[in-house]
């Protein structure tokens, strides 16, 4: 009798553990689920809009991480290394947060992550081969593009319902400010002194705009 009871208790405990694990991975049912950043979408259109925003933001932070990884591969042991590492650490936190938000809201990342993985690293490494100034020029171009993109999202959310999206707005504004800080840091560390600065900046920003466009859709 005792053995049967113990087995029953073990079975119940195992079932409870499985249910808890499932809630951690999949979330609780929609009516009871707790959202840390986003409210439950009102309709399909809002779901599509928010998914697109989160997907492209995650892709941007992922790409930025790969760019800094490429820069560190070339300049990590130089005097510029600690500065690049400091900015990279902030980008790692941005990416970690968006990883978390995508998981909470069941949003798939862009299908192009493998492309951004390689392209970001190569861009970071190639500009770092031009020296510290080249790396800083890349930082200025990329961070300016990302901050402008975040500003566009802020305007969209403010026009839609600032109270409803308050937490998401706070997060985007915080990350936007970090990107602007990186942009200013690049300028302070001689980004504009690299030969062909304006051409290099234009090329990088054109690539960033294209990446934003396709990441929103794929």
Q: Which of 151, 152, 138 is nearest to 197 (CA)?
A: 138
Are residues 65 and 164 both part of a single domain? yes
Are residues 21 and 88 both part of a single domain? no
Annotated binding-site members: 61, 91, 94, 143, 179, 182
The CATH number assigned to the domain holding 189 equals: 1.20.1260
Per-residue b/e over 68-99, b at no fewer than 16 CB within 10 Å? bbbbbebbeeeebeebbeebbebbeebbebbe
* Tens of pLDDT, residues 66-88: 999 999 999 999 999 999 999 99
Are residues 10 and 85 both part of a single domain? no
Q: Is residue 100 scored above 80 in pLDDT?
A: yes
Structural domain containing residue 9:
1-34
Query: In the prediction, which pLDDT does 190 show?
Result: 94
Mean pLDDT of 32-42: 66
Contacts 24+ apart (CB under 8 A), 20-28: 26/106, 27/104, 27/106
Annotated binding-site members for Fe cation: 61, 91, 94, 143, 179, 182
How many domains is the chain partitioned into structurally? Answer: 2
pTM of the model: 0.81
Are residues 11 and 116 both part of a single domain? no
Are residues 77 and 123 both part of a single domain? yes
The DSSP element (H or E) to which 164 belongs, if any, is none
Are residues 24 and 4 both part of a single domain? yes
Are residues 98 and 180 both part of a single domain? yes
The residue ranking higher by pLDDT, 12 or 47, is 47
Are residues 188 and 112 both part of a single domain? yes
Are residues 28 and 125 both part of a single domain? no
Query: In the prediction, which pLDDT does 82 show?
Result: 97
* Tens of pLDDT, residues 106-118: 999 999 999 999 9
* Tens of pLDDT, residues 177-213: 999 999 999 999 999 999 999 999 999 999 999 999 9
Are residues 46 and 30 both part of a single domain? no
Are residues 180 and 204 both part of a single domain? yes
Q: What string of DSSP letters covers 45-58?
A: HHHHHHHHHHHHHH
Are residues 75 and 102 both part of a single domain? yes
């Amino acid at each position: 009798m005792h053995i049967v009871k113990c087995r029953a208790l073990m079975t119940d405990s195992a079932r409870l553990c499985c249910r808890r694990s499932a809630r951690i991975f999949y979330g609780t049912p929609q009516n009871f689920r707790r959202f840390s950043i986003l409210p439950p979408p009102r309709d399909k259109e809002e779901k599509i809009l928010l998914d697109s925003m989160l997907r492209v933001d995650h892709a941007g932070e992922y790409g930025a991480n790969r760019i800094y990884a490429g820069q560190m591969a070339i300049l990590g042991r130089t005097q510029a290394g600690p500065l690049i590492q400091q900015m990279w650490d902030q980008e790692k936190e941005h990416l970690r947060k968006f990883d978390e938000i995508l998981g909470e809201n069941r949003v798939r990342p862009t299908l192009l992550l493998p492309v951004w993985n390689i392209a970001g690293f190569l861009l970071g490494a190639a500009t770092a081969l031009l020296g510290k100034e080249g790396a800083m020029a890349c930082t200025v171009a990329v961070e300016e593009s990302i901050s402008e993109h975040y500003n566009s999202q802020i305007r969209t959310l403010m026009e839609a319902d600032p109270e409803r999206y308050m937490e998401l707005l706070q997060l985007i504004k915080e990350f936007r400010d970090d990107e602007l800080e990186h942009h200013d840091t690049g300028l302070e560390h001689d980004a504009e002194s690299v030969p062909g600065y304006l051409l290099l900046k234009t090329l990088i920003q054109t690539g960033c705009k294209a990446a934003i466009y396709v990441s929103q859709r794929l």
